[in-house]
Amino acid sequence: ILPLPLAAAPSPAAAIRTTALQDNVAWDFVEGLTTEVGPRPAGTPQEARARDWAVAKLKSLRFANVRAQPFTMPVWLRGRDEAHILSPFPQQLVLAALGNSGSTPAKGIEGEVVYFPTLADLEAAPAGSLKGKIAFVSHAMTATQDGSSYGYFGATRRQGPSIASRKGAAAILIRSIGTDHHRQPHSGVQMWAEGAKPIPAAALSIPDADQLVRIMSRGRPVRLHLTLTSKMLKDQPSGNVIAEIPGADPAAGVVLAACHLDSWDQGTGAIDDASGCAIVTAAALHAAKAGPLRRTIRILMAGAEEVGGDGGRAYFAAHGAEPHAMVMESDFGADRVWRVDYKLPAGHEGLASRISAGLAPLGIGRSSALAGGGADIQPLVKAGVPVIDLQQDGTRYFDIHHTPDDTLDKVDREHLQQNVSAWAVALYEIANAPEKLDVK
Amino acid sequence: ILPLPLAAAPSPAAAIRTTALQDNVAWDFVEGLTTEVGPRPAGTPQEARARDWAVAKLKSLRFANVRAQPFTMPVWLRGRDEAHILSPFPQQLVLAALGNSGSTPAKGIEGEVVYFPTLADLEAAPAGSLKGKIAFVSHAMTATQDGSSYGYFGATRRQGPSIASRKGAAAILIRSIGTDHHRQPHSGVQMWAEGAKPIPAAALSIPDADQLVRIMSRGRPVRLHLTLTSKMLKDQPSGNVIAEIPGADPAAGVVLAACHLDSWDQGTGAIDDASGCAIVTAAALHAAKAGPLRRTIRILMAGAEEVGGDGGRAYFAAHGAEPHAMVMESDFGADRVWRVDYKLPAGHEGLASRISAGLAPLGIGRSSALAGGGADIQPLVKAGVPVIDLQQDGTRYFDIHHTPDDTLDKVDREHLQQNVSAWAVALYEIANAPEKLDVK
Ligand SMILES: [Zn+2]
Ligand SMILES: [Zn+2]
Ligand SMILES: [Zn+2]
Ligand SMILES: [Zn+2]
């Protein structure tokens, strides 16, 4: 019997890739944070508990320089969210107020519904034509692997309330920005544009939005009773959590791996974004397994991402002047990485080739799209720090995003491990790149 | 060119089967009832609107002898359903009170949770050991095509509350009797056993039940705040709706096709049981298309099925003495019929063969299981009226059953049409069977 030919000894990156596919740290992180803290809205005591939990977890995993970075911020708090049709077909509708929604009185308001199939239809409504009415905007969002439909149709949530307010509407309801068929409204933030007075603004679950379209299709006036109570608090405590695996060469720049610790209030934030924090945490540990790192890997678990990115700005204010060699962020769920995008200056060609080669065995292909990063690293990206995106499959992300359904059971353990493996390969290659990489 | 050989002209049953596969009546029925009425809990004004809607609909479809059959009944009404963990990990849980649940005070109750993995574990708890505690019973229900897992695991809902009450529990929470992974609790009725004092009783959504199991797995005492307000009303109006396609030979007995008009309150009762009423209505019309019927086809849209079968008993009290040749019921969703079961006396062999042959092209096989009928026809079945079950595929039924998610989008139009076709074939063959069939 001839011995089987021996393959060459695996490279450190290949060994890391293989080992990380068996990772348990990330699953334990997601399971722990979502179970022992649960929902963690920005600026609330739950988010503070999440910071304490993360600091303890990162210390137990032997990270260095683990600390919270506190800041304060205004906080919008959900109250009661209720709607029912008064006529012609009395029935309840399931909905959730959007972030920064105006509040109705406790007894609610009543109004006639005016239907707009798209945001463009709402924009085309004559000024003043919505006086005292409840605007209802639907749309046709479908699932996309790259999540691009969220960018486009999400405008209904981001801009719809301000447009309706300027046209005199008493309130606005939108079809949830989502792709599922469950009675689970998708919340999310919106900001009032200059000169737009806050009005009650909420997302109907998708079956409820479809029901309201059917009811309106009967051609009779539809009157609705709407109760959306909420309140705004000033100067509430929030904060980031930061931790490091120190590298030997501080001048070579920090590799920042970001995620966010806060979540929306309805679910336990398992895919958004406990998974992201779990992935970067586990991946950093795997990346360091081959020996001491040249560059420091720094974990940023941002606070208050969901409500506008206060955590990312606080990080930049405190650390933006330090040399950063690369920034990356994980904030698109727990499904597998399918594509890698780069935005790199000259001199990074060799590094990008090594990363792409290391990711290929995981089924991840290099694209020609420019990486953009996420909200938590936006100030650094704008300042010119190189960025790489490990793009996750978004096909089912918007079934769950910002709904009560964002819970642990939605995380697929094997997909999570593939993320850890991809991130570990990338962090290893960046942290140990032998060439001089310009830092910002 | 040779002409293609001509097939024999199709039999009336084959023509009905083919035409019914293009049916639109059933879809319009489900769409209309769920949109224009929505939820229709037994004994409420919504159920009364459903009766009015059904009477108008059946008249517009040219049924004969269309009328409501009123009765009165006690009604349990849901109030507020809220729960949150006080310690060790404060967070909300999503749940829904079970039918006939006791009410907490408006400010709720507090208690320590005691966990039982199965109903047998609860039964094994020593008498008095639950004094002042909140019992929590989980179980391992999985989906089955024939729905048999509901029969078994549903005992947790049907008997769990009475058992917990007798052991002194302050309240009981159960894992929803369902097979999904959404934050949608499954409600449903339970009756207090002799000597069991009503206590608050509710179903946690499945992700919430799994979360509570994980929280308890940490080994620390778990304290819960529970608010389940509800009330009981006496002597509320409910009723059946009855309609006929008259046959030429009254002595040959009525063919009764049943469904129920009421629904649980959280959803719009699209699969339970607007679809059943849609199927029997559309099928009766198709069955009559080949010409005058020998036997009368009578549609029974029962009221108050969900809360104990008052409608079926009221029908039997008024009509049980009339000759019935056959009873059938559609109350298991809108997914395709996959099997036909019979419970027939001697003399029906030819009829059963003709029905089975007519169903085979729809992919429906004859089983050796005895048909049992459903709640609305139980009194007739007990009295010995022959019964046939067109068994629907239950694989995904308990993902949706009795949850807010029971909405129109869960109905698959092609599956609904297959149901109509199967029912039309069966009703045609029964109504026109030339042999003398014993009636009860
Ligand atoms: Zn996020
Ligand atoms: Zn988010
Ligand atoms: Zn039913
Ligand atoms: Zn039911």
| More reliable by pLDDT, A33 or B127 | A33
Q: Which 3-state string (H, E, C) describes B319-363?
A: HCCCCEEEEEECCCCCCCEEEEEEECCCCCHHHHHHHHHHHHHHC
H/E run at residue B167: none
Q: Let me know if the fold of B12-74+235-431 is the same as that of B89-221.
A: no
Q: Does B405 touch chain A (CB under 8 A)?
A: yes
Chain B contact present for A161, CB below 8 A = no
The whole-angstrom separation of Cα A311 and Cα A330 is: 15
- Ligand 3 mean position, distance from CA B368 (Å): 24
CA distance A289 to B384: 75
d(CA A316, CA A69): 12
Chain A partners within 8 Å of B175 (Cβ): none
Contact yes or no for B114/B130 (Cβ under 8 A):
yes
| Sequence-distant (≥ 6) Cβ neighbours of residue B148 within 8 angstroms | none
* pLDDT score, position B5: 58
* 3-state secondary structure at position B388: strand
* Structural domain boundaries in chain B: 12-74+235-431, 89-221
Secondary structure letter of residue A274 according to DSSP:
I
The residue ranges of chain A whose pLDDT is under 70 are 1-8
Per residue in A352-388, pLDDT (tens digit) is: 999 999 999 999 999 999 999 999 999 999 999 999 9
Q: Is residue A92 less than 8 Å (CB to CB) from chain B?
A: yes
Give the tens place of pLDDT for each residue, B33-81: 999 999 999 999 999 999 999 999 999 999 999 999 999 999 999 999 9
- Would you say residue B1 has pLDDT above 70? no
Q: B220 exposed, middle or buried (CB, 10 Å; 0-12, 13-18, 19+)?
A: exposed
Asked if A182 and B181 come within 8 Å (Cβ–Cβ), the reply is: no
Beta strands at A223-245 and A109-116: parallel, antiparallel or unpaired: antiparallel
Residues of A in contact with B407 (CB under 8 A): 181, 183, 207, 211
Q: In this predicted structure, what is the pLDDT of residue A6?
A: 58
Query: Mean pLDDT in chain B?
Result: 96
C-alpha torsion B34→B39→B41→B45, nearest 10 = -90
Host H or E run for residue A424? helix A413-432
What is the A69 CA–ligand 4 centroid distance (Å)? 52
Q: With CB atoms and an 8 Å threshold, state whether A211 touches B410.
A: no
Q: How would you classify residue B108: left for phi > 0, otherwise alpha for psi between -120 and 50, otherwise beta?
A: left
Which CATH architecture best describes the domain B12-74+235-431? 3-Layer(aba) Sandwich (3.40)
Distance CA A121, CA A124 (A): 5
The closest alpha carbon to A281, from A311, A238, A243, A316, belongs to A243
CA distance B409 to chain A (A): 7
Sequence-ordered list of residues with C-beta below 8 angstroms from that of B191, at least 6 positions apart, any chain:
B100, B158, B162, B308
3-class DSSP state of A296 = coil
State chain A's maximal CA–CA distance in angstroms. 88
Q: Does B123 touch chain A (CB under 8 A)?
A: no
Q: How far apart are the first and last CA of chain B?
A: 59
| Cross-chain Cβ contact B38/A408 below 8 Å | no
d(CA B253, CA B322): 8
- Which residues, numbered 14 to 73 in chain A, qualify as contacts with chain B under a Cβ-Cβ cut-off of 8 Å? 31, 34-39, 46
Min distance B37 CA to chain A CA atoms (Å)? 6
Closest by Cβ to A409, choosing from B31, B46, B181: B181
What does the pLDDT look like over B264-323, one tens digit per residue?
999 999 999 999 999 999 999 999 999 999 999 999 999 999 999 999 999 999 999 999
In B183-222, which ranges are E strands? 201-204
SS (H, E, C) A342-385: EECCCCCHHHHHHHHHHHHHHCCEEEEEECCCCHHHHHHHHCCC
Q: Does B439 score more than 90 pLDDT? A: no
* Check: complex ipTM more than 0.90: yes
The count of CB pairs under 8 A between chains A and B is 94
Which whole number is the average pLDDT over B15-36?
A: 98
Residue range A89-221, CATH number:
3.50.30.30
Q: What is the pLDDT of residue A439?
A: 85
- Helix ranges (H only) for A138-246 are 148-153, 155-166, 206-217
Residue B423: closest CA among B277, B295, B291:
B277
Asked if A395 reaches chain B (Cβ–Cβ under 8 Å), the answer is no
Three-state DSSP state, B116: strand
> Cβ of B207 and A408 within 8 Å?
yes
The residue assigned the tokens 């059953």 is: B401
Cβ pair B39:A91 closer than 8 A: yes
Question: Is residue B148 very low, low, confident or very high in pLDDT (cuts 50, 70, 90)?
Answer: very high
Pick the residue of A30, A34, A35 with the most B CBs within 10 A to test the interface with B by mutation: A35
Tokens 């799994």 found at? B210
- Whole-angstrom distance, CA of residue B146 vs CA of residue B116: 27
Class (C level, CATH) for A12-74+235-432: alpha beta
pLDDT, tens only, B162-221: 999 999 999 999 999 999 999 999 999 999 999 899 999 999 999 999 999 999 999 999
The residues near B296 (Cβ < 8 Å, ≥ 6 apart) are B244, B245, B246, B247, B250, B254, B255, B431
Chain A interface test: which of B405, B407, B408, B411 (most A C-beta within 10 Å): B407
Q: Which of B36, B211, B410 sits opposite A89 (nearest CB)?
A: B36
pLDDT digits (tens, 9 = 90+) for A172-212: 999 999 999 999 999 999 999 998 999 999 999 999 999 99
Q: Which residues of B touch A83 (CB under 8 A)?
A: none
Cα–Cα separations (whole angstroms), residue A384 to A305, A340, A353, A379, B385: 21, 19, 21, 9, 81
Query: Which residue type, as a one-letter code, is found at position A363?
Result: G
| A207 vs B contacts (CB less than 8 Å) | 405, 407-409
Cα R_g (chain A), whole angstroms: 23
Which structure tokens are listed for B194?
A: 């002799």
Residues above pLDDT 70, as percent of chain B: 98
Average pLDDT over residues B414-432: 98
User: Which residue in B31, B35, B407 is closest to A89 by CB distance?
Assistant: B35
Helix (H) or strand (E) holding B223: strand B223-245
Chain segment B237-259, per-residue pLDDT in tens? 999 999 999 999 999 999 999 99
Q: Report the pLDDT value the prediction gives residue A438, as an integer from 0 to 100.
A: 86
pLDDT of res. A5: 58
Q: Indicate whether B8 pLDDT > 80.
A: no
Torsional sign, CA A11, A17, A21, A25: positive
Q: Is the pLDDT of residue B4 over 70?
A: no
Average pLDDT over residues B376-393: 97
Q: Check residue B156 and give its pLDDT.
A: 97
What is the residue type of A345?
P
Please, which pLDDT band fits residue B6 given cuts at 50, 70 and 90? Answer: low
Nearest to residue A304, comparing CAs of A34, A71, A98, A67? A71
Q: Which residues of B touch A39 (CB under 8 A)?
A: 91-92
CB contact under 8 A, A39 and B91: yes
- For residue B16, the CA-to-ligand 2 centroid distance in Å is 53
In whole angstroms, how large is the CA radius of gyration of chain B?
Answer: 23
> Among all residues of chain A, which has the CA nearest to that of B181?
A409
- Say whether residue A320 is in contact with chain B using an 8 A CB cutoff: no
- The gap from C-alpha A409 to its chain's centroid, in whole angstroms, comes to 18
The predicted pLDDT at position A1 comes to: 52
Q: Please give the span between the terminal C-alpha atoms of chain A, in angstroms, as a whole number.
A: 58
C-beta atoms of B183 and A46 within 8 A: no
